[in-house]
Every structure is written in C-alpha cells, then in structure tokens.
Amino acid sequence: MIERVMRILEVFDSGETALTASEIARRTKLPVATAYRIVGDLVASRVLEREPDRRVRIGLRLWELATRASSAVSLRDIALPYMEDLHSVVRQHTQLSVLDRHDVLYLERLTSRHATAVNATTVGSRLPALQCAPGIVLAAYAPPAVRDELLTWGKLTAFNKQTVMDRDELRKIVAEARRVGHAVVPGWIHDDVTGIAVPILAADGGAIAALSIAIERGGDDELTYMHALQTTARSISRAMHVENLVTDRRLNLLRQQIRRATARD
C-alpha cells in the first residue's frame, strides 16, 4: 500500500500540479478502482485536496507533516540568499540542484532577463545526470560506489550532436571535474548554451548539491564566472555547517517538492 501511495504522490510535478483520479490511474498504471479508492482515502486524510472541478492536488497536510518531521533548515532556504547575491553579480540563469539516483533534480532556479542563453530547467524538473554540468560535478564528488554505478548504468540521452554519449569519455570528464573542482559543459543540451557547475561540499568532502549557471556558448569566458560560483558555493557550505543541516537529503527534497506543489498563484 505504501508503494502505491508513493506512486500516486510522485505523479504530481511542476508541470502537473492537479490531476483527475483517472489521470492518476493511467500514469501510475494502477487499476482505476484502486486509484480511486486510494485517492479518496488521501483526500479524506487531507494529504490530497480536491478542487471544484474534481481534480486533486498535494494537500497542506502533507506539507505540515514534512515540515514537522525535522527542525533542520532546508538546503534551499540556506542557499537562496547566497544564490540571489550571485545572481545579481553574474546576471545569468542560476540553479541549485541535487543528485537523485541517475538524475539531477533542480531545487531552485533564478532567471535573468539580461541572459541570452536558453535555460530549459524549472524548479522540480530533472535532467539525466551524465548530460549536464551539475550532474557531472555531482558524480565527480559522489561516493565511489555511487559514481561507478552512475557511470556504468546511468541513462544517456542524446539532446544533440554535441552530447557526449561514450561512457569511457564521460569517465574521463568526471575525473577531470573532480581534479579541477568544477564542470564546464559546452552545448550538450542546447547547441548555443554552456553549463558551468561547482559542488557545494559537506564536511566530509562529498557534494551535497551543485551550484550552476547557464551562459551563451562562445560568449564571455566561462572562467570569469568561476570565482563567483566557487566563492558562493563555499559560503553555502559554511552556512550549512553552522546551521547543522540534517544530511537526510531525501527529506529535504520532499519538503521542497511539497512546498512547490502546494503553492497557489
């Protein structure tokens, strides 16, 4: 039953915040009667809320329970003020992301009307970890077993002719990112966009998250942005240590997803 409930909750994302029970059944591949019954139980317990048009969305009760579960300050809450300072300096799209299995999950994005680079990411969206700058740097600073599993079995998606699809080449790129402390990915997703990412490190030297920007490919030298990115990442790391942030990353992810899903226009 818990697995079925999780399947239902996971169908809600930044693009689909409200769904009918029939749509939920189709997306979860649950029997229609089962989906209707579980949705009804979740509505009754206020984990889901029903809209006037009969669609349902994540309810405030789930947000309340997730918030109550820990007194830790969330990763996004700590990072956001520093991201805003960085954003005001670089005037480029700025993102905060974490590794979730074979994907990069974006927790926050600050857009810039001055930026000329395309940025397809949204809060709550995912990209294959091996095909974007944040994923490369997160893989580089992941525990060896996690890194090896990702490089061996992580999904590969060819966004264009520039996307690196060779696993041996990706291993070299990840190793280089670990050596130099950052990742620069030119044109892997959009031909005219370069992604730049640095790790936000925990006390043990592993990456908790990645801080990244998207810039126009062939424009300003990416190294001109590196110092600002690395300085900001170190500041976030220090702030997290001071706040004694709980390192249960999945709980922090859940809290951010619930906050976004329950936010109303």
One digit per residue, the tens of pLDDT, for the chain of length 265 reads: 888 888 888 888 656 678 899 999 999 999 999 999 999 999 998 889 998 888 998 887 876 676 654 433 478 888 999 999 999 999 889 999 999 889 998 888 998 776 556 666 777 788 999 999 999 999 999 999 999 999 999 999 999 999 999 999 999 999 999 999 999 999 899 888 999 999 999 888 899 999 999 988 876 677 789 999 999 999 999 988 766 544 455 555 665 566 566 555 4
Interatomic CA distance for residues 191 and 101, integer angstroms: 26
Residue 14's nearest CA partner among 116, 108, 86, 103 is 108
Q: What angle is formed at CA 23 by the lines to CA 99 and CA 108, rounded to 5 degrees?
A: 30
10 Å Cβ neighbour count for 213?
A: 28
pTM for the whole structure: 0.71
DSSP assignments along 50-88, one per residue = E-TTS-EEE-HHHHHHHHHT--PPPHHHHHHHHHHHHHH
Instruction: For the chain, give every domain's residue range.
Output: 2-69+254-262, 75-244
Sequence-distant (6+) residues with CB within 8 A of 155 are: 102, 128, 130
CATH homologous superfamily of 75-244: GAF domain (3.30.450.40)
Q: For 125, phi and psi rounded to 5 degrees?
A: -85, 165
CATH annotation of 2-69+254-262: 1.10.10.10
